[in-house]
Amino acid sequence: MTTSTVAKKDTQKLQRAIIDGLEDVKAQDIVVFDTEHLSALFERVIIASGTSNRQTKALAASVRDAVREAGFPKPRIEGEANGEWIIVDCAQAVVHIMQPNFRQYYHLEELWGERPVRLKLGSAKPAAPAKAKAEPIKEKVPATLKRSNAAKKGVAEAFPSKAQVKKNLAAKSAAKPAAKSAAKAPAKKAPAVKTAAKTLVVNAPVKVKSPAKAAAKAPARKAPAKKAAPRKA
């Protein structure tokens, strides 16, 4: 391969590393311009926005790390103290990380934007395999239980919530003293039974004996002895 081809590939590799570093920290409005015809010092100008000082500083640090991981020399960073406009000098490419108001005021696109480079956003890094989500409990319930409201109620009773468990325990603890009191209380006799017995005794029929039987049973009375008459002189 010729020297120009190698240099072009290196530029594209550096450009990709810078874009990945910006996207890792959610940079906004990323644009790339080809500046080979305008300056012999660098071949790309990349402009991106950060919403705060903290984000612009994080973007600069992310670009620096991504460039070093790609095998390029450590870039120079300027303006990191205030974070309003940070310049990351990567030799073949210069990155301008600016807050929106500074970007609108200086409008670097007019200075370097004659040849915009088509950019494929989205990190080229392979995405980590997504972890399998735990299967929801609802999918494990058989279809027959889903069709029947009564079955659904049975499942709910078999797997009560924490609030329901507390409610059941409170009801059981309240029922225990009542049950003990009922067991200790003496059984009361029904007053109706006594009244009925008394009524039966009072209202019992009185047997009347016939005069003949009474006379027969009565003892015979002895006749009174006659007094002897006095004798005459």
CATH code (residue 45): 3.30.460.10
Q: Are residues 15 and 108 in the same domain?
A: yes
For 23-70, the pLDDT digits (tens) are: 999 999 999 999 999 888 999 999 999 999 999 999 999 999 999 999
Q: Are residues 142 and 81 in the same domain?
A: no
Query: What pLDDT, on a 0 to 100 scale, did the predictor assign at position 9?
Result: 78
Q: How far apart are alpha carbons 168 and 174 in whole angstroms?
A: 10
pLDDT of residue 203 exceeding 60, the answer is no
Q: Are residues 29 and 98 in the same domain?
A: yes
Judge whether 21 lies within some domain.
Answer: yes
Q: How far apart are alpha carbons 113 and 16 in whole angstroms?
A: 19
pLDDT of residue 214 exceeding 80, the answer is no
Judge whether 193 lies within some domain.
Answer: no
Sheet holding 85-89, edge to edge: 28-34, 44-49, 93-98, 85-89, 76-78
Q: Are residues 98 and 161 in the same domain?
A: no
Best-predicted range by mean pLDDT (9-18, 114-123, 145-154, 224-233):
9-18
Q: Are residues 142 and 59 in the same domain?
A: no
pLDDT of residue 183 exceeding 80, the answer is no
Judge whether 130 lies within some domain.
Answer: no
Judge whether 182 lies within some domain.
Answer: no
Q: Are residues 13 and 104 in the same domain?
A: yes
Residue 129, token pair as written in the block: 């395999």
How far CA 226 is from CA of 98, 163, 223, 229, 231, in Å, comes to 165, 112, 9, 9, 15
Distance from first CA to last CA of the chain, Å, rounded? Answer: 205
Q: Are residues 24 and 85 in the same domain?
A: yes
pTM of whole model > 0.75?
Answer: no
Judge whether 119 lies within some domain.
Answer: no
Judge whether 150 lies within some domain.
Answer: yes
Query: What pLDDT, on a 0 to 100 scale, did the predictor assign at position 17?
Result: 95
Number of domains in the chain: 2
Last residue of a domain, one of 65, 96, 112: 112
**Where residue 198 falls among pLDDT bands split at 50, 70, 90?**
very low
Instruction: Answer whether 68's CB lies under 8 Å from 14's CB.
Output: no
Q: How far apart are alpha carbons 116 and 98 in whole angstroms?
A: 19
Domain, as residue range, for 60: 8-112
Q: Are residues 35 and 104 in the same domain?
A: yes
The proportion of the chain whose per-residue pLDDT surpasses 70, expressed as a percent, equals 52
Judge whether 55 lies within some domain.
Answer: yes
Judge whether 100 lies within some domain.
Answer: yes
